[in-house]
């Protein structure tokens, strides 16, 4: 924290108070026991407002001095920071100092701008939700981000790319036999590209998990990576070096409107390639069928992580050798969706968060367990959900916990090793509060769209909102 941030500069508030009181600088300075020149410096933020000045303000005018505290600006600054990061302002390059100066110089204007931005976000969210509702819950919204475009493109291809599968199989067939996969991939990188694999401490990597040094011909991997993480990143690097044409071809097939979508899509394809190298289609498909999609058994057999196996299971869409149609979702502890693939199986809301009644969030409370249960959407369709918490290393130490859920239609349950329990144990969930019209949901955070609220001051049910059904 800088010295300026530690001190309280509230010149604009002080000046506004003086004008509201209808006083000159000389009059206010006399009331506060200050010299007019010092008050002028305070109003121009050339001097910080001290505790003595705040006490004098409280005694002379009976005002709440907390209005002058820097804590009062935190929410406005957070809102303005979100505004500054919005793609609409791309190229303006507002930084924290610009925002702080705006709040200091004209807090009313900053507050008005914050409110305007929040109203715009709310209107955009509402428009997006309405568009999704009109399209059956999974339609495109009015504003599509690069992430949403990429998710749509993966869904359109059923998350299956035959050319990348073939390239991955060719690479895997060219590896030295009877060697652990990590060593075989590292030798391939050395023999074909003259590059060595080296592991470095987190502080040397400066927060990066993988970096390829073309000049030194080295692949630098972070010590934070797990063994399966190292394999994944070596395979991804080989994909970039050897499957560039296939990656470019696949990326060119998609037509994106948003800036950055193509690069993001290509990065997703690189990850797809790495997963295909680690878990070749034919043997992985055969093993999945044999062990009835036991994720942990597949993880041990293919030396992959729980999340890597879940992702690979969503790609088994080869004609003549299709696996169970799975969807996948990954969420953080705040409910943000950090990975999502519907697979044509289940729709996902594009905004407003997920459903608190979906017990995938139990994974955060009991991270060592696999949580299996049945969920039911308002339209009565049922799905089996298999969730577990996964930890990702955090640069600088520690780990961030996320919940990964793999799911399929309930009619496929007999193909799985997982038992969702009797039919009575069903979680009634929605896509998101704004699109869910369940009347008796105690976890509801928002009322549904296009349903007028019905409020009775003498009745308080378990649900925070009641509304008309018609």
Q: In whole angstroms, how large is the CA radius of gyration of the chain?
A: 28
How many residues are listed for the chain in this entry?
Answer: 470
Query: Which has more confidence, 3 or 383?
Result: 383
Mean pLDDT of 188-210: 94
Q: Is residue 455 part of a domain?
A: yes
Q: Which DSSP state fits 381?
A: -
CB neighbours of residue 366 within 10 Å: 11
* pLDDT for residue 289: 97
Indicate whether 225 belongs to any domain.
Answer: yes
Q: Which residue has the higher pLDDT, 7 or 384?
A: 384
pTM beyond 0.75, yes or no: no
Question: 224 in a domain, yes or no?
Answer: yes
The last residue of a domain, from among 243, 278, 313: 278
**Residues 177-182, mean pLDDT to the nearest whole number:** 93
Q: Are 386 and 421 in contact (CB under 8 A)?
A: no
User: What is the distance, to the nearest Å, from the Cα of residue 268 to the centroid of all Cα atoms in its chain?
Assistant: 15
- Asked if the structure places residue 117 within a domain, the reply is no
Q: Looking at residue 140, what is its pLDDT?
A: 43
Asked whether residue 189 is domain-assigned, the answer is: yes
pLDDT of residue 236: 98
How many domains, the chain?
Answer: 2
Q: Which domain range does residue 446 map to?
A: 437-470
Please give the structure tokens belonging to residue 464. Answer: 């925070």
Judged by average pLDDT, the poorest of 185-199, 201-215, 400-414, 452-466 is 452-466
Render pLDDT for 36-75 as a digit per residue (tens, 0 to 9): 999 888 888 788 888 888 888 878 876 655 556 544 455 5
Helix (H) and strand (E) counts for the chain? 19, 11
How far, in whole angstroms, is CA 128 from its chain's centroid? 18
Domain termination site, one of 255, 278, 301:
278
- 41, burial (CB in 10 Å: exposed 0-12, middle 13-18, buried 19+): middle
pLDDT at residue 421 is higher than 80: no
pLDDT: is 74 or 395 the higher one?
395
> pLDDT tens for residues 270-316?
999 999 999 999 999 999 999 999 999 999 999 999 999 999 999 99
Give the pLDDT confidence score for residue 139 in this predicted structure: 44
Q: Is residue 233 in some structural domain?
A: yes
**What pLDDT shows up at residue 263?**
93
Phi, psi of 218 (to 5 degrees): -140, 140
pLDDT class of 257 with cuts at 50, 70, 90: confident
End-to-end CA distance of the chain, in Å? 54
In a domain, 4, yes or no: no
pLDDT of residue 347: 77
- Measure the CA–CA gap between 448 and 465, rounded to whole angstroms: 9
| CB of 156 closer than 8 Å to CB of 264 | no
In terms of pLDDT, which residue wins out, 421 or 188?
Answer: 188
Mapping DSSP to helix (H, G, I), strand (E, B) and coil, where does residue 212 land?
strand
In a domain, 359, yes or no: no
* CB-based burial, 48-71: b 16+ in 10 Å, e otherwise: bbeeebbebbeeeeeeebeebebe
Q: Quick one: pLDDT at residue 410?
A: 92
CATH number, position 233: 1.10.10.2910
More confident residue, 106 or 53: 53
Please give the DSSP secondary-structure letter assigned to residue 7: S
- The band of 407, judged by pLDDT with boundaries at 50, 70 and 90, is very high
Whether residue 191 has pLDDT greater than 60:
yes
CA 201/CA 209 separation, integer angstroms: 10
Distance CA 194, CA 414 (A): 49
Out of 243, 262, 278, pick the residue that ends a domain. Answer: 278
% of the chain surpassing 90 pLDDT: 41
Look at residue 71 in the predicted model and tell me its pLDDT: 44
Task: Give the pLDDT of residue 143.
Answer: 47
Whether residue 141 has pLDDT greater than 70: no
């Amino acid at each position: 924290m800088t010295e300026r941030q530690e001190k309280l500069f509230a010149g604009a508030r002080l000046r506004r108070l003086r004008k509201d009181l209808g006083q000159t600088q000389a009059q206010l300075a006399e009331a506060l026991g200050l010299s007019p020149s010092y008050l002028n410096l305070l109003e121009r933020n050339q001097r910080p407002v001290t505790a003595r000045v705040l006490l004098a303000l409280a005694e002379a005018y009976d005002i709440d001095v907390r209005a002058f505290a820097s804590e009062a600006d935190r929410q406005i600054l957070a809102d303005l920071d979100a505004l500054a990061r919005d793609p609409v302002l791309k190229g303006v390059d507002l930084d924290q100092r610009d925002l702080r100066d705006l709040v200091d110089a004209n807090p009313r204007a900053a507050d008005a701008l914050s409110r305007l931005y929040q109203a715009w976000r709310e209107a955009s969210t509402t428009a997006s939700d309405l568009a999704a509702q009109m399209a059956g819950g999974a339609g495109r919204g009015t504003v599509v981000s690069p992430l949403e475009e990429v998710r749509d493109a993966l869904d359109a291809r059923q998350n299956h790319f035959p050319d990348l599968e073939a390239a991955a199989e060719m690479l895997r067939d060219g590896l030295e036999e009877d060697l652990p996969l990590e060593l075989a991939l590292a030798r391939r990188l050395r023999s074909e590209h003259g590059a060595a694999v080296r592991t470095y401490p987190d502080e040397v990597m400066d927060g990066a998990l993988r970096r390829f040094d073309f000049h030194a011909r080295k692949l630098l991997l972070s010590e934070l990576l797990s063994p399966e993480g190292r394999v994944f990143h070596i395979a991804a690097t080989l994909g970039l070096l050897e499957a560039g044409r296939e990656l470019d071809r696949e990326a060119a097939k998609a037509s994106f409107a948003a800036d950055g979508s193509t690069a993001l899509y290509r990065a997703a394809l690189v990850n797809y390639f790495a997963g295909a190298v680690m878990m070749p289609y034919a043997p992985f498909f055969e093993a999945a069928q044999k062990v009835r999609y036991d994720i942990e058994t597949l993880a041990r057999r293919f030396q992959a992580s729980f999340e890597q196996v879940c992702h690979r299971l969503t790609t088994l869409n080869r004609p003549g050798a299709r696996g169970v149609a799975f969807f996948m979702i990954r969420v953080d502890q705040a409910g943000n969706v950090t990975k999502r693939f519907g697979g044509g199986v289940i729709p996902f809301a594009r905004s407003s968060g997920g459903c608190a009644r979906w017990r995938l969030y139990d994974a955060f409370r009991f991270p060592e367990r696999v949580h299996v249960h049945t969920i039911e959407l308002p339209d009565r369709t049922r799905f089996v959900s298999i969730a577990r918490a996964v930890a990702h290393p955090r640069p600088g130490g520690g780990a961030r916990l996320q919940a990964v859920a793999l799911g399929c239609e309930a009619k496929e349950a007999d193909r799985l090793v997982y038992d969702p329990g009797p039919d009575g144990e069903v979680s009634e969930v929605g896509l998101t509060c704004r699109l869910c019209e369940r009347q008796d949901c105690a976890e509801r955070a928002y009322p549904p769209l296009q349903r007028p609220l019905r409020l009775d001051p003498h009745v308080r049910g378990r649900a925070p909102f009641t509304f008309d059904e018609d």
